Amino acid sequence: DMVRVIAGDDVSVGALMRPGVDPHLYKASPADVSKLNQAKVIFYNGLLLEGKMEDLFKRLATDGKAVRAVSDTVPQEKRLAPEDSEGHPDPHIWGDARLWASTVDDVVAQLSATFPDHKEDFEGRGEGYKVDLETLHRWAEKRVVEIPEDRRKLVTSHDAFAYFGKAYGLEVVGVQGISTAADPSVADRTRMVDFIKANGITAIFVESSVNKALIEQIATDADVSVGGELFSDAMGEPGDVRTVNGDSYDVGTYIGMLKHNVNAIVEALR
């Protein structure tokens, strides 16, 4: 979505993963490989988010293709690494709109290097987008404050919301780790039910790109409600416009996705 915004009508932008698709498990199809081979420049998130495509991206880069992981520009001190991740950084950097905005300049630079005729247009759109993301960041900060402080606890399927929680002041607990590749154990589920009960949590959340059965079962076991669906690792359907408090946004965009998540969490927890 960021590349699309910055590229505007100057460059044709295609995405491989559809709404609701889990990037941790996604494998490139032969059609994807052919699209990647034809692309002038390729952007991906990196930090092993697209774990099963990493080798392919590396190979394309070695072959001389312009391939860029947007997370490469996130400095070491801003990367979060949970204790059980063996030092591997958490890839879900877009949860923090301000951190996500910090990757805009690199996308502008890469697009400008590939399509120099449009450099000024990319720069103009990039600057505008950074302003929009900063506005989004400040809005989210204000909105989360509507939840009483002792209720600012977010329970979801996997640990996709660490950057989000740190940026907006929510304690985050996921049943799975930072990847969805391993199935949660019975002990993970029991730990979660205990955490929910001990903390008086009233609502937990399913994710659009992760199997919902696990969270629904935990909600039943802990006797809490499911507070709605969050977009963690995938945006919504393009053109799916939602309106909350008079504010309309398309959940098929990054800004709409983040607004939806914040509104859903605030409405359920406050």
Element (H, E) at 190: helix 186-198
How far is it, in rounded angstroms, from Cα 157 to Cα 110? 34
Residues 204-233 vs Zn ion: string with x where CB under 5 A? -----------------------------x
For residues 146 and 163, the answer to whether their CB atoms sit within 8 Å is: no
Rounded least distance, CB 51 to Zn ion, Å: 10
The residue among 33 and 181 lying less far from Zn ion, judged by its C-beta, is 181
The residue among 160 and 230 lying less far from Zn ion, judged by its C-beta, is 160
| Amino acid making up residue 2 | M
| Amino acid making up residue 15 | A
| Amino acid making up residue 86 | E
The residue among 90 and 121 lying less far from Zn ion, judged by its C-beta, is 90
Angle between helices 119-144 and 254-269 in degrees, nearest 10? 0
Rounded least distance, CB 269 to Zn ion, Å: 21
The residue among 24 and 118 lying less far from Zn ion, judged by its C-beta, is 24
Establish if 48 lies at the interface with Zn ion (CB under 5 A).
no
How far is it, in rounded angstroms, from Cα 143 to Cα 259? 10
How far is it, in rounded angstroms, from Cα 211 to Cα 213? 6
Rounded least distance, CB 30 to Zn ion, Å: 25
Rounded least distance, CB 36 to Zn ion, Å: 22
Q: How many CB atoms lie within 10 A of CB 90?
A: 22
Element (H, E) at 124: helix 119-144
Rounded least distance, CB 178 to Zn ion, Å: 6
What sign has the CA pseudo-torsion 92, 229, 180, 183? positive
Angstrom CA distances, 108 to 41, 63, 64, 229, stand at 12, 23, 20, 32
The residue among 160 and 235 lying less far from Zn ion, judged by its C-beta, is 160
Specify the length of the chain in residues: 270
Give the residue carrying structure tokens 């696990």.
214
Size of the site for Zn ion (CB under 5 A): 2
Rounded least distance, CB 207 to Zn ion, Å: 8
Rounded least distance, CB 10 to Zn ion, Å: 31
Phi, psi of 157 (to 5 degrees): -65, -50
Touching Zn ion, residues 136-195 (CB under 5 A): 160
The residue among 160 and 218 lying less far from Zn ion, judged by its C-beta, is 160
Rounded least distance, CB 176 to Zn ion, Å: 9
The residue among 125 and 260 lying less far from Zn ion, judged by its C-beta, is 260
The residue among 93 and 140 lying less far from Zn ion, judged by its C-beta, is 93
Footprint on this chain of Zn ion (rule: CB under 5 A):
160, 233
